[in-house]
Homo-oligomer: A and B are copies of this chain.
Amino acid sequence: MIPFHVGGSILVRLRREGTQAVTIADVARLAGVSTATVSRALSASAALRPETLALVEAAVARTGYMPNVAARTLRGRRSMVVLVVVPDIANPFFSGVLRGLEDELSQHGYGLLIGDIGPHNEKQAQIVGVVQAGQVDGVVLLNGHIPRKAGRDLTALGIPIVAVCEPIEKATFPQVEVRNHEAARQAGAHLAALGHRHVAYLGGPARNILERQRQAGFREGLAEAGCELQPGWIFLGDFTMASGALAARSFVMAVPRPTAVFAANDEMAIGFLKTIQAAGLRVPDDVSLIGFDGIEFADFVEPTLTTFRQPREALGRMGAGLLLRAMAGETIAPEEARVRLDAVLLDRDSTAAAPAPKALSR
């Protein structure tokens, strides 16, 4: 922690080197009006005489005035900033969702504060702290959990919240998600229709909601085709390529070996793909593989990865829309509060008909 007297020297530097910051008083003086009038001109919050408005606008232009955000936030009790809680900023999946959020929110004057919660639990308290400190007007949770601090969770603070991507089961705030169960069911049906009977599943952490939805859906799709997901053929990773690679090392030893695999995300699928290929297996000739998410890299591995494209930007945009309404004081009706979008199967080159039975012993 930098001692505060050092802060004093920053002030000196800023004042010395930079231009002295223009305040609303400077603008008012130049325009020959009160600061109240300048404020009204800037916020368009009250009707002003066109001549007065012009006077203020000219003074703003001449001075290059920018309102001080801290003062505005303190007085106005709103920061015009939204906190986005991300589980892992390094996962390229989230950049699309962030873009959707940013597009929609910035159109309404809001900025984004990104909180990368990572694997560390201590960050949870930081998140709550940011809200308690009055830094944000709303929160978007992409992480599937309600952050808590010292026993109390975020919902107790009365700030508008929405969850996007990873739904939170018992929560009452609006949520936007993809039809994970449906898509995974389709993955099962698709593999079964290709003749696969020995099928494996590569999932995420056991308690993760996406993992639970996708595994359940996949099982259902297989079951409907008279197929069963055998316990020994379930590998759980952590959504990273490394964990996909790890699962692959067990997979290649399996006897008999499954002829198809559904991975709960693309990164694990890509780690898995590379590793079984290195072990001499061919995709899709020996093993069919389906991923989930539709990240750009899935299109640049060999073979291209069959996967489900999530409508990433739309997820972000719809989440932002709901949050904007909540921040405007609107109550979201329960039937509107749960938005579900489709994930679309991209049928590419990593899936094919199951090899003939004898191929298994080749």
Contact = CB atoms under 8 A, between A and B. Distances in A.
Interface of A: 1-7, 9-14, 16-19, 21, 43-45, 64, 66-71, 73-74, 76-79, 89-90, 92, 95-96, 98-99, 102, 108-109, 111-114, 116, 129, 132-135, 137, 150, 152, 156-160, 241, 245, 270-271, 273-274, 277-278, 296-297, 299-302, 324, 327-329
Contacts of A278: 302
A2 B73 CA distance: 15
A70 B134 contact: yes
Contact of A66 (B129, B137, B271): B129
Given A92-B90, A277-B302, A78 B7 contact: yes
Contact of A79 (B67, B70, B324): B70
A67 B296 CA distance: 43
A153 to B, nearest CB: 12
Contacts of A150: 64
Contacts of A17: 158
A274 B296 CA distance: 13
B89 A95 contact: yes
Contacts of A10: 77-78, 137, 327-329
Given A17-B158, A18-B156, A102-B116, A328 B2 contact: yes
Nearest to A151: B64
Contacts of A68: 74, 133-134
